[in-house]
Amino acid sequence: MKILITGGSGFIGSNFIKYWFKNHPEDSIINLDKMTYAANPRNLVEFENSPNYKFVKGDILDEKIVDELVSQVDTIVHFAAESHVDRSIDDPSLFVRTNVLGTYNLLMAAKKYQIKRFHHISTDEVFGTIELDSTDQFNESTPYDPSSPYSASKASSDHLVRSFFKTFGLPVTISNCSNNYGPFQHPEKMIPRSITSLLSGGKIKVYGQGLNFRDWLHVEDHCRAIEAILLNGKIGETYCIGGLKKGTSNMELVRLILKLMNKGEDSLEYVADRPAHDNYAVNWDKINKELGWEPKYDLESGMKQTVDWYTQNQIWWQETKKEAEEFYIKLNSLNK
């Protein structure tokens, strides 16, 4: 395969490139990434001199670059996005441009060059929220009902991708996955923010009372799921991907982190809640039954590996941690 990866220098994209080269060394990859604050050039240093890997710094909104790169590949795996809900509350405009218009740009080029597969990476957040006391789960038939500017922009991009399949026969697949965690995640996100705060002598910030829940998926399990869809998924189909059998509350999550890092509940600080704070849990029966995929990590072993990684790679996160905490200070002062 000749694959164009968008957003390959971010968290999931860089894990995917590592995973793909390990398991498919014969394939070639072009990584198109704008290198926003969320990207880290250190993520992919090991491929710098590889003949099968090419990095292009550029924006998916740039029609010329997108046209030139799409003409060279047969497959697109589209990760690039503005991905942080809190930043979309601060400034939604970039989310609409990158996530909606950027996806449109890629779709137009994919149509022009009759790409063999366009795989769109989306999120369970497009489905909205599950009631706090409910054990419901999202599945492929759940109606879209996004709550944040981020999830609304991702929902729009999903609709565009699906419309290019229905209207133009573009060979697309879509995956809607739950919250990922693991190595190389930006310290603005809950799990790395919590681990790096404890490692820096600070406290974990818990939004509200910590009752909201998520379905945590280890990034390597996510990469294996994308691989299963690329190799055996059915064109035009959507696959929901989750890591657990039920939602885990943020309190359960932070207690696990505290336990693994030998800290007590005095290392928790309860802060103002996020507006429109959702709950998510995903039913992943379809990908399990049709493609034989299931997660390998349980939350405890995945979290232990993640805590170890952030403990051993402090140089990787120290600068970005500073910027992330500055962002939170600004966001909190705006909300006062």
Among 3, 4, 5, 7, binds ligand NAD (CB under 6 A): 7
Sheet strands (E) in the chain: 2-6, 28-33, 53-57, 75-78, 117-123, 172-177, 180-181, 204-207, 213-214, 217-218, 238-241, 248-249, 268-271
Residue nearer to ligand TDX on the CB measure, 103 or 250 = 250
Among 4, 21, 30, 33, binds ligand NAD (CB under 6 A): 33
Site for ligand TDX in 256-315 (CB under 6 A): 274
Residue nearer to ligand TDX on the CB measure, 53 or 151 = 151
| Residue 81 touching ligand NAD (CB under 6 A) | yes
Question: Phi and psi dihedrals of 157, rounded to 5?
Answer: -65, -40
Among 75, 102, 128, 146, binds ligand NAD (CB under 6 A): 102
- How many amino acids of this chain bind ligand NAD (CB under 6 A)? 31
The DSSP bridge partners found for residue 218 are 181
Q: How far apart are CA 152 and CA 27, in angstroms?
A: 34
H or E segment to which residue 20 belongs = helix 11-23
Contact 315, 256 (CB under 8 A): no
Active site residue 150: yes
Contact 180, 242 (CB under 8 A): no
Residue 207 site contact among ligand TDX, ligand NAD, none (CB < 5 to 8 Å, cut-off depends on kind): ligand TDX
Would you state the structure tokens that stand for residue 112, as one six-digit string? 């022009």
The catalytic position among 33, 125, 215, 221 is: 125
The catalytic position among 33, 59, 82, 124 is: 124
Would you state the structure tokens that stand for residue 100, as one six-digit string? 């909606």
Residue nearer to ligand NAD on the CB measure, 98 or 129 = 98
Active site residue 125: yes
Residue nearer to ligand NAD on the CB measure, 62 or 263 = 62
Among 83, 105, 238, 283, binds ligand TDX (CB under 6 A): 83
What's the Cα-to-Cα distance from 55 to each of 12, 25, 64, rounded to whole Å? 16, 17, 16
| Residue 13 touching ligand NAD (CB under 6 A) | yes
Nearest to 179 by CA among 130, 128, 244, 132: 244
Residue nearer to ligand TDX on the CB measure, 190 or 195 = 190
Active site residue 124: yes
Q: How far apart are CA 109 and CA 66, in angstroms?
A: 7
The DSSP bridge partners found for residue 122 are 176
Q: How far apart are CA 215 and CA 308, in angstroms?
A: 21
Nearest to 135 by CA among 285, 247, 250, 251: 247
The catalytic position among 33, 59, 82, 150 is: 150
Rounded to the nearest angstrom, the gap between the alpha carbon of residue 183 and the centroid of all alpha carbons in its chain is: 13
Site for ligand NAD in 148-187 (CB under 6 A): 154, 177, 179-180, 186
**∠ CA(332), CA(319), CA(7), 5° rounding?**
90
Among 10, 146, 182, 242, binds ligand NAD (CB under 6 A): 10
Nearest distance, CB of residue 39 and ligand NAD, angstroms:
3
Residue nearer to ligand NAD on the CB measure, 13 or 149 = 13
| Residue 157 touching ligand TDX (CB under 6 A) | no
Would you state the structure tokens that stand for residue 143, as one six-digit string? 């109606």
> Site residues (CB under 6 A) for ligand NAD?
6-7, 9-13, 32-36, 38-39, 59-61, 79-83, 98, 102, 121, 123, 154, 177, 179-180, 186
Residues identified as active-site? 124-125, 150
